[in-house]
Structure 1
């Protein structure tokens, strides 16, 4: 497995969906030198194979940006290549494999190289290489050194870090009671009208714990991880973005921010929340409808399941 450092810097937004990652990605994509790519983990199935729409509105294969990326990275997109990456993902990129990925990451950083399964190491290397080539081609096409991937999954962040990519994880958290309320909603996907996945509060709570704990483990292994709370981002967007820009080493050009709003340009995002298609002015206000819209029993259940991390992230037990 190659440990060659990538000249492209990858900002990886981690956390559980419905936590504000798409919004943060769109805002980061407006910073000078940054290109928002969407949820790259879904590019292979939804973009290459299903030809779903890019954030610019064009089908994936008709989008000039992604066509150039595919040509630079792989000599063009192919179904066989996408299916191979998806097969590798099923083998190496899963939440249940985080303990093994953590051991590999620790060994790589210690220079031990004592990974028990050469075949697994080769598969991880091949999987991460596909992302490395894609990121580098996207940065070259966009004309900037930084790409933003909002794939969220802690396991993919482990894969990228273990393979030696220059990745900085932005750990996005939101009050789990708000996340659980959002996951209960029925939302249609704008690409095809099909309903987006919905989860029960209990299932959401377990996924919230798994993803956030996975990212906590990643930070313990020395990977750069910066935490951002959804609530802080919406309460103080300029301050939050300035802090992130300083940490990520990019210029804090915030001219797109106004009084409680942001002006978004077209983004070539391959998957994500429907707001990835939004162009123009958007309001930056917290969605706190869960405080009155969620049944009290639901909030109590989520609190009981997630309270240790709730306290760590400064979310109160009781609602004010």
Structure 2
């Protein structure tokens, strides 16, 4: 596959339920972009379980992903999922972030790390060729994956930018308490519902995820922090800022799909993510502050206490 420059990828990093799917969908409406969904789950949920693409077609039947798989791996029928797991499982772990951030990868992880990252490079290159996009949007969110990809960016095999999406920890905790069915799930899917976490678990992961992306920015990867609440207050300005940070100039006409209180979304080829990825047409843009009224006071106090340092750092209290 001949490419003239590294693929440019905007990696959306966050703890889940922070509003990343909406931001990704809006970015995906801009000319010159390709919105991929949560690529970290493409391999198991798309290739392995055959879940639906954002276009509504099962992944194995989607013409877009079919072309990508053919170009990147000689077809998804030829893709060795077990070999992918072999190289992924030892390296894509939160516990390895400190070592990855220092570039001190243990000898026994060097081969699987290089092989694991190469899967993403091949996929990104194929998507760029099939879509013709100048900017690929990967909303995988996981900090551990971002640190793995950093090794390719350091060697200039990947042009990696990170949009660190941040939402009030109490709003995130309230969202994680909801029962949400995954409409794309199949009999082969491991998960029929989106995961639900306790407030204490959310607080722990919220601290870890947001701290990790702050560290990533100090390790040479361009990182732009976006507060979800500020995005909803000024969606056009914030979206323009993210796109320009990612190297994609935006003109006024490019934002015709977006108003202050709603957006109009078209179909997409997101491989995995929040059920909102299936939504097309008019989408209202409004803050969800249900936690202020619905979250039990004891849970609210617990999440606030456990995340207070970063809440203060980012101006939430």
Q: CA deviation at 1:269?
A: 0.5
Q: CA RMSD in A?
A: 1.6
Q: Structure 2: which 5+ residue stretches go unaligned? A: 187-191
Q: Which runs of 4+ in 1 moved over 4 A?
A: none
Counterparts of 1:291 and 1:86, CA distance in 2 = 41
1:112 corresponds in structure 2 to: none
TM-score (norm 2): 0.92
Counterparts of 2:145 and 2:195, CA distance in 1 = 20
Counterparts of 2:106 and 2:243, CA distance in 1 = 39
Q: Secondary structure at the match of 2:173?
A: helix
2:235 corresponds in structure 1 to: 237
Residue deviations 1:189-236 (CA, integer Å, cap 9, x gap): 111382211000000000111111111111111110000011011111
Matches within 5 A, 1:1-320: 7-78=6-77, 81-104=80-103, 115-117=105-107, 119-164=108-153, 165-192=158-185, 194-252=192-250, 253-316=254-317
Residue deviations 1:78-121 (CA, integer Å, cap 9, x gap): 475222222222110111110111121xx7xxxxxxx541x411
Counterparts of 2:86 and 2:138, CA distance in 1 = 20
Counterparts of 1:270 and 1:184, CA distance in 2 = 24
The answer on whether the counterparts of 1:44 and 1:86 sit within 8 Å (CA) in structure 2 is no
Q: CA deviation at 1:248?
A: 1.3
The answer on whether the counterparts of 2:236 and 2:260 sit within 8 Å (CA) in structure 1 is no
Q: Secondary structure at the match of 2:69?
A: helix
Q: Secondary structure at the match of 1:100?
A: helix
TM-score (norm 1): 0.91
Counterparts of 1:96 and 1:6, CA distance in 2 = 32
1:110 corresponds in structure 2 to: none
Task: Say if 1:274 and 1:66 are closer, same or farther in 2 by CA, change over 3 A.
Answer: same
Counterparts of 1:102 and 1:297, CA distance in 2 = 36
